[in-house]
Amino acid sequence: MVDVATFGTFAVAAVASLFMAWSIGAGSSGSTPFAPAVGANAISVMRAGFFVGILGFAGAVMQGANVSEAVGQELIGGVTLSPVAATLGLTIAAILVATGVFAGYPIATAFTVTGAVIGVGLAMGGDPAWAKYQEIAALWVLTPFVGGGIAYSIARLLRIEPVPERYLILAFAAIVGVLVANVEFAVLGPEGSGASIAVAASDALPGSRTVGVIAVTALVAALWALVLAVDLRRDVEAGERHFLLVLGALVAFSAGGSQVGLAIGPLIPLSTDLELPLFALLVGGGFGLLAGSWTGAPRMIKAIAQDYSSLGPRRSIAALIPSFAIAQTAVLYGIPVSFNEIIVSAIIGSGYAASDDGGGVSVRKMGYTVLAWVLSLAIALGVGYAGYTVVDALLF
C-alpha cells in the first residue's frame, strides 16, 4: 500500500514534470519541426503550433519509452533519484528552457535536462555513467556536422540544372519512405517493445523475415514516391509544399518521441513505488507537450523561421530530411537530443548551399545560440549539484 508521503512527493515531482513538458512543447519540440515550413510560407505560425502539438502527443505515446528510461535510469549510476532530486532537477531545467522561450533564444532542452539530472545525481553520491555519456556526447557533437552536411548536400543537389528537380524530389521522397518503413512504433510490437512497419508486415508474410523486410520497405518507398509524383505532376510548387508539410509532421512526431523523455524520465524511479505504468507517464507528458505547443510555441517558431535563415521550400526540404533521420536515430538508441541543435544545424547547412554569402544565415545569432547551448549544460549541471547539496543540508 502506498503511503501519503510517497504519493505527496510524487505529486510535487509530477507538477515539476508537467512544467518541464510545457516548456519543451513551447520551446524545442513545439517550435523547431515546422519552423522550416513556416519560413517557406507553406503553413502559418498558428496552424503549425496547433498541428505540432497533436503530432508531438502521438509521438510521445508511441515512441517515448526509450529516451524516458535512459533519462530516468541511465544518466547516473549507484543511486536512484529521490523525489527531492527529481523535483529539483526538473524545476531547474524547466526554468532555463522557459527563460529561453521568453527571451527568444532556443535553449537546448536536452542539455539542460541532462545536466540537471547528472548534477543532482552526483550530489546524491551517484557515479558518472561514462559509457552513456560517450554515446550522448558523440551524437551531440556529430549532429551539426552530419545534419548540416547532409542538408547542404541535398540543397546543392536540388540546384543542379541538368537534372529535373521533380526527379530529385521523388528520390528524396523514396529515401524518406525507407526511413518511415523502418521506424519503430510501440503499437506494432509485442508488449514492452516496439516494431517497425516493415518488421510487423514481414512477420505476416511467408518466408524469411529479412526478405520480407526488404520487400515491404521497397513497397513503402515506392508508394511514397508514387503519391508525391502524382502531386508534383499537377503542380510542382504545390507538391513541394505538401512534401515539406509531411516532413514537418514526421519531425514533429519524432520530437514528441524524444522530448517527452526529458520531462518524465526522472519520474520513472518514483513511479515504481506507486506501480504506475510507463504508458500513463507518457500520456501525461504528451499532454504537457501539447499544451506547451498550443500556448507558447508560436513565438519560437517565428524566431527560428525568420531570424536564422530566409528559407524556401527546397532548402526547407533539405533541412528536414536529415533532421528526421537524426531524430529517429536518437529515439531508437534512447539518447536525449536537442531538436534545436538538429533543426538549426540543418537550417544553416541548407542556407549556406543557397549562395556564397551564407544564404541569409545570421552568424551573430548563431554564435549566441551555440553559447547558450554550452552554458545551459554547464549551468544546469552546476546549479543541480549545488541546489541539491543545499536542500539536502537544510532538510536532512
Q: What is the pLDDT of residues 5-21, one digit of tens each?
A: 667 777 877 888 888 88
| Mean pLDDT calculated for residue range 102-126 | 83
Q: Residue 226: is it exposed, middle or buried by C-beta count within 10 angstroms (0-12/13-18/19+)?
A: middle
Cβ atoms within 10 Å of 280's Cβ, excluding its own: 12
- What is the predicted pLDDT for the residue at 89? 86
Position with higher pLDDT, 16 vs 245: 245
Burial of 193 (0-12, 13-18, 19+ CB in 10 A): exposed
- Whether residue 268 contacts residue 75, with contact meaning beta carbons closer than 8 Å, is answered with no
Given a cut of 70, whether residue 107 has pLDDT beyond it is no
Whether 309 has a pLDDT exceeding 50, the answer reads: no
* pLDDT at residue 308, as a whole number: 47
Nine-digit cell string for 347: 537550417
Please give the C-alpha separations between residue 94 and each of 18, 26, 386, in angstroms, as whole numbers: 9, 11, 17
* Percent of the chain topping pLDDT 70: 86
Q: According to the per-residue pLDDT averaged within each range, which of 25-34, 108-117, 366-375 is highest?
A: 108-117
Q: Which of 99-108, 142-151, 322-331 has the lowest mean pLDDT?
A: 99-108
Mean pLDDT for the stretch of residues 247-253? 90
With 70 as the cut, is the pLDDT of residue 180 above it? Answer: yes
Q: Which pLDDT value is given to residue 119?
A: 93
Read off the C-alpha cell for 362.
545570421
Q: Model confidence at 306, in pLDDT bands (50, 70, 90)?
A: low
What is the rounded average pLDDT of the residues 78-95? 83
pLDDT band at 121 (very low <50, low <70, confident <90, very high): very high
What is the predicted pLDDT for the residue at 394?
Answer: 81
Residue 370, pLDDT above cutoff 80: no
Please report the pLDDT score of residue 354 as a whole number.
Answer: 65
Max mean pLDDT range (173-182, 207-216, 231-240): 173-182
pLDDT in tens, 212-240: 899 999 999 999 899 999 988 888 888 88
Give the least confident one: 68-72, 140-144, 318-322, 366-370: 366-370
**Mean pLDDT rounded to a whole number for the chain:** 82
Q: How confident is the model at residue 101 (pLDDT cuts 50, 70, 90)?
A: low
> What pTM was computed for the model?
0.85
Q: Which range has the worst mean pLDDT, 129-138, 168-177, 185-194, 238-247?
A: 185-194
Look at residue 57 in the predicted model and tell me its pLDDT: 92
* Nearest residue to 20 (alpha-carbon basis) of 375, 374, 260, 341: 260
- Span 307-323, mean pLDDT? 76
